[in-house]
Amino acid sequence: MMNIAVLVSGGGTNLQALIDAEKNGEIKNGKITCVISSNPNAYALERAKQNNIKTVVLNRKDYDDVHKYSADMRDTLLAEKADLVIYAGFMTILDEQVVKAFPNKMMNVHPALIPSFCGKGFYGLHVHEAVLASGVKLTGATVHFVTEECDGGPIIMQKAVEVKNGDTPEILQRRVMEECEWKILPMAASLFCQGRIKVNGKITEII
Ligand code: GAR
């Protein structure tokens, strides 16, 4: 059974999707053993506590630089014996120390179809604002492995939804979460825990 550590910063609806999937037996060979938050006030922490999952707060605001924060995050993940690390609405970019300790063992859910609307500055509602301003007719979500390049790691899964007339960033965010993120993130976690994601450079293959 693989230990899954989930990194959060906010509301934690993606964490909830993972918890629900685990309860329904949809995460084969994986168990959420720890939730780590960069924000002490994240509602995601309540969701973890309600489900008797261990919580750790590593408050980003307590650190002046990302290097020391990343070192402490790496040490926490190693102490928790994490086999898989999931960024579920985790809003801090960690440096190469963490990536090197967990190569192709960390995955992130991003609320757009990478390589569009991604990289530094594209997070949360900003992504959906940019999607609406651009006039694209399709958007969606991507689950990818985390590398040193922000939102640039090998893509594991993507799912698309339509952008509709009258959408606001909030309405579009909800559609992307419900129809894409909450579905593909648990699926990707389950595939990983079963050893079914093969990575060859930028390309992944489900076996
Ligand atoms: C989600 O839409 C997630 O994809 C996004 O923030 C939201 C967090 O919601 N993540 C990013 O933008 C990271 N670049 P949640 O806390 O309810 O899961």
Cα distance between residue 29 and residue 134, in whole Å: 41
Model confidence, pTM: 0.97
Could you tell me the distance, in angstroms and rounded to a whole number, from the CA of residue 89 to the centre of ligand 1?
A: 3
Question: Ligand 1 within 6 A of 113 CB?
Answer: no
- At 24 the pLDDT is 98
Task: Give the chain's mean pLDDT.
Answer: 98
- At 100 the pLDDT is 97
- At 7 the pLDDT is 98
Cα distance between residue 135 and residue 199, in whole Å: 33
Could you tell me the distance, in angstroms and rounded to a whole number, from the CA of residue 201 to the centre of ligand 1?
A: 26
Question: Ligand 1 within 6 A of 10 CB?
Answer: yes
- At 48 the pLDDT is 98
- At 101 the pLDDT is 98
Cα distance between residue 86 and residue 168, in whole Å: 28
Which two three-digit tokens encode residue 122? 């594209």
**For every residue of 140-184, which 3-state class applies, written as one string?**
EEEEEECCCCCCCCCEEEEEEEECCCCCCHHHHHHHHHHHHHHHH
Query: Which residue in 67, 110, 126, 128 is the catalytic one?
Result: 110
- At 103 the pLDDT is 97
- Residues 150-176: tens digit of each pLDDT: 999 999 999 999 999 999 999 999 999
- At 173 the pLDDT is 98
C-alpha distances (whole Å) from 104 to each of 144, 150, 174 are 9, 14, 28
pLDDT < 50 positions in the chain: none
